[in-house]
Structures are given as C-alpha cells and as structure tokens.
Structure 1
Amino acid sequence: MTKVWMLTVQWMSSSALFQHITALFECTMAAIITLLVSEPVGVLYIRSCRVLMLSDWYTMLYNPSPDYVTTVHCTHEAVYPLYTIVFIYYAFCLVLMMLLRPLLVKKIACGLGKSDRFKSIYAALYFFPILTVLQAVGGGLLYYAFPYIILVLSLVTLAVYMSASEIENCYDLLVRKKRLIVLFSHWLLHAYGIISISRVDKLEQDLPLLALVPTPALFYLFTAKFTEPSRILSEGANGH
C-alpha cells in the first residue's frame, strides 16, 4: 500500500512538472511566432520607435486642438510595436494553450482528479484578460518599473518560500533538489532585474552588482535563527 501511494505521489509530481514544461513551451512558441509576424516579418527581432518619455505610451491623452476649435484625436502608437506586441503575444499564448493543453490533460488525466484536470486552463482564462487590461492601462508604467518589480518579487517570494518550507540553515536548503531549483530560479530572476536596470554606457560599474545576487538568501540563512520562522508559522496555524 505504501509503495502504491509513493508511486501515485511520484506520478502526480511528474504530471505537475509536465504541465509546467508544456506551459513554458507554449509561451516560448508564442514569443517566437510574435517576433516572426512583427515588423520586420520573418526575423527574430523587432524594429521599434525609441521611447523618450512616459507620455509616449499614452498618445490618446495628448490630443492637440489647433486654434482651440477642433480636437485632433491621435490614435498612433508612438512606441510601435512595444505596446501592441504584448497583446499579440497574449493572443498566441491563448491559441496555443487551447490547442495543446487539452491533449496534455488527456494524456495525464489518470494522474489527476476530475476537478484538477482543467484548473490550469481555467486559471489562464482568468489571468489572460487581467494581464491584457494591465498592459492596456499600465503598459508604460510596466515598461519603466518592470526591472524593479522583478527585483522586489524575487526577494519577497524567496523569503516567503524559505519561511514556508521552514528553511533555517544550509542543510535544510541542500537536503532537497527542489529547493535548490527554486533558489537558483530566484537568483536568475534577481540577476535579470539587475541587468535590466544596468546602464549601457556604464556596464563596468553596474554589472559587478551581480555578485550581490546570493546576498538575500545568505542574509536570510544567517538571520533565520533570530526570527525562527517555523515558530511563527506554527503560532499562526494555531491562531495565536
């Protein structure tokens, strides 16, 4: 009975991993197709207008009124195609998901309950409209704040994960491969954020900051014995 349970857990874990791999494949293919259909067509790069200021993303808010008589409504995309290309990417993500994900669900259906089979699809059908609205309203803000958002999220999610997993020393971190994968993933995101905010003309000054990527994890491990996250979690679970 124990062996059957372990095999079931292993199959469930592999099914979840398979779903993540499929989602990564869908997003990668959507990104490649989006680049291929954008100007210039057929190549994996885009020719975009230079972004000078935040108002370039919201040309509809700056409609000139010659002689204060007639308002000329500006509908041109000053940052073409940086604004619309995101919507095209989301559209291809949705199409590929609807084409590939049902086949995945059918393949791993025996490893998932009926209520779990379509959760990833339902979640995407909720998140894609939300992401589309965020891009439509805050595309310019996201363009400028994205590296800083990545940095903050990588720090917060790493701290939450390590506290939830009750990681208080290096041994707790190294005892499972999954924890190392999560750690390296957060380091990769943190490095990406640092590279994104680096100044092109002063890379020799900014890129050495990559040496600070492991600092948040090391700081957490060195200070965990003072905060005792496991005790905080147990007290929270007991309602204290």
Structure 2
Amino acid sequence: MSVSMNLNCPGLYCGIKNGSEQCGACPRGERTNIMKICQKCMDTPELYDWLYLGFMAMLPLVLHWFFIEWYTGKKSSSALFQHITALFECSAAAVVTLLVNDPVGELAIRSCRVQMLSDWYTMLYNPSPNYVDTLHCTQEAVFPLYTIVLIYYAFCLVFMMMLRPLLVKKIACGLGKTDRFKSIYAALYFFPILTVLQAVGGGLLYYAFPYIILVLSLVTLAVYMSASEIQSFKNLVAKKKRLVVLFSHWLLHAYGIISITRLDNLKQDLPLLALVPGPALFYLLTARFTEPNRILSEGGNGH
C-alpha cells in the first residue's frame, strides 16, 4: 500500500522513490535521507562492519570444525582433510557471495551505514497514518549486512553438499557408513539455526558480537585445557594439536579486542593486544592450586 505525499512522509523508514510522488518502502539498496527521499547506498563498510561479517562467516566454519573433530577426530585420519575441505567451502562461499552482491563481479560492497538498532527491524516501524491502514515500509535499511549473511549461508550449504559427501566417501574408510556422514548431518541442523539467528537477532548480534567472542573464547579455552588435563607448559607443548587450539583462541581474543576498540586510537588500542595470552598464562600458573586430587588430599590431612 502507498499513501499520497502531503506534508511529510510518515514513519522512520518510509520514503519517496525517485521519479515518484508516492510514499512507501525504498527499493533494495536504497534508504531514506533527511528529506525522506530514497537515496542509493554508496557508502563502504566500516572496519566494524567487516568484523561483524567476519564473525558471522566464522560461525559455520567453527561449527564445521567442531563436529568434524567430535565425530571423526579420534577415529579417522581423514579429519584433517575434512577440516581443510570445510575451510575451502566457507572461503569459496564468501568469495562468491561478494561477487554476486552489488556491485556484481567485484570483491567489494556498497552499503548503508548502520545508525541505530531499529535499522535492523524496520518491519516493527511501519506507520499507521490514519490509525486504520498500515503503510508497509519494511526494507533493508542496513543494506547489505542483513541479507548478505543469509546468502553466504546458502552458498556454504550448497558447496558442502557438492564437495563433502564425495570427500568423506573416498577417505573416511575407517568409519562406519553412518558415522562418516554425521558431521554433514550436523551441518544440516546448525545451518537452519544460524539462519534463524541472523533473521531474528542480527541487530543484537551486530552490537554484541565482540563481547560474545571474548566470553566464548575464554570459556572454551578453559574447558579445553581442563578436559585435556593441561596443568603446565610442558603438558601444553607435548602435542602440536594443543598449540594449534591455543593459538586459535588467541586469534579469537585478538579479534574480540579489535572489534571492541575498533582501533580508533592505535597508540591506545594496540597495546591491549598484549593481554591476549593473559587468560592462558593465568590458567597455567594457577591450575596446580585447583587440582581436585590435591584439594581432597589436603582436606583429608586437615582432618
């Protein structure tokens, strides 16, 4: 429905299309300006926008790696090849997503700047000028941050279904017929969950993802080191896999810190990256004091 323009175009996101006198939703890739006229989005994403897209792109990759390790890591030597394949799938999906997005054929994005949380949920701000009829002005005010993630997930799923079953069938001979495909089945569950998460909570994730990264990376690192019974530097360097996990978490810590600071002040923000090894060093230095056997033995001696 459209409403004739009188004094002003109502609502936060309703605007006048180019060459038209009707007030309504702006076409995709456009957003209303101060004069309530639909204007093409010509901004380039800020560093924070790229970091957000990177976070959303990492989610399926991390989940792929987790389930591959969970189902095949200890049973088959094919886990490494599946990890590499998952990385290739997500990387190829990211490149193709950028190429098909406007401007088509370029590894670049034109975008509208995110101004406030409501920009992500324009459907909640459709005005009712006469309190009877609703003027539907739902649009992607944060173009393309909302839909580009959904497109990326779709390509990830397509590439996974094209490549992974063939790879697993060829190299996962040490696993049973049902076990070898469990990591793929898991992806068929978590991709719909990620899609709903983006569709419903994309705006909340946009503002909260730096803190989510820091909290999850700290918790998962502590759980991993505890489950692996790593209580000293010697235990840590005993296996290369443990070092890979540690450095991966350090990269996540650094990613979270950069996302929070946005590197607005390099002299002030870059030294904060020195805090990245802090949680792991603190755990290693204090792990022996919290060993359950030691606590129980000291408690028994006290009695």
Regarding TM over 0.5, the answer is: yes
Show the 5 A alignment for 1:1-240.
Answer: 12-228=75-291
- C-alpha deviation, 1:71, in angstroms: 1.3
Q: Give 1:20's aligned amino acid.
A: H
Aligned pair count reads 224
What is the distance in 1 between the residues matched to 2:149 and 2:262? 24
Q: What's the offset of the Cα at 1:70?
A: 2.2
More helix by share: 1
Superposition TM-score, scaled by structure 1 size = 0.88
Q: What CA distance in whole angstroms lies between the structure 2 residues aligned with 1:73 and 1:22?
A: 43
- Deviating above 4 A after TM superposition, structure 1's stretches of 4 or more consecutive aligned residues are 9-13, 229-232
- Asked if the contact 1:90/1:132 (under 8 Å) is kept, the reply is yes
Deviation at 1:99, TM superposition (A): 0.4
Shift of the alpha carbon at 1:230?
A: 7.1
1:98 offset after TM fit, Å? Answer: 0.7
Change (3 A) 1:11 1:51: closer
Q: Is the 1:59–1:75 contact (alpha carbons within 8 Å) kept by the matching residues of 2?
A: yes
Output the aligned Cα RMSD. 1.9
Q: Which residue of 2 aligns with 1:237?
A: none
Percent of aligned pairs with the same residue?
A: 83
How has the CA–CA distance of structure 1 residues 10 and 182 changed in structure 2, closer, same or farther, with 3 Å as cutoff? closer
Please report the TM-score for the alignment, with normalisation by the length of structure 2. 0.71
For structure 1, the residue ranges without an aligned partner over 5 or more in a row are 1-8, 233-240
Following superposition, the deviation at residue 14 of structure 1 comes to 2.8
Quick check: 1:163–1:230 contact (8 Å CA) kept in 2? Answer: no
AA matched with 2:234: Y
Q: Distance in 2 between matches of 1:56 and 1:166?
A: 46
Deviations 1:58-88 (A, max 9, x none): 0000011224342111221100110001110
The letter for the 1-side match of 2:285 is: F
Structure of larger gyration radius: 2
**Distance in 1 of aligned mates of 2:104 and 2:195:** 24
Residues 199 and 106 (structure 1 numbering): CA distance in 2 closer, same or farther, change over 3 Å? Answer: closer
The answer for the alignment partner of 2:14 in structure 1 is none
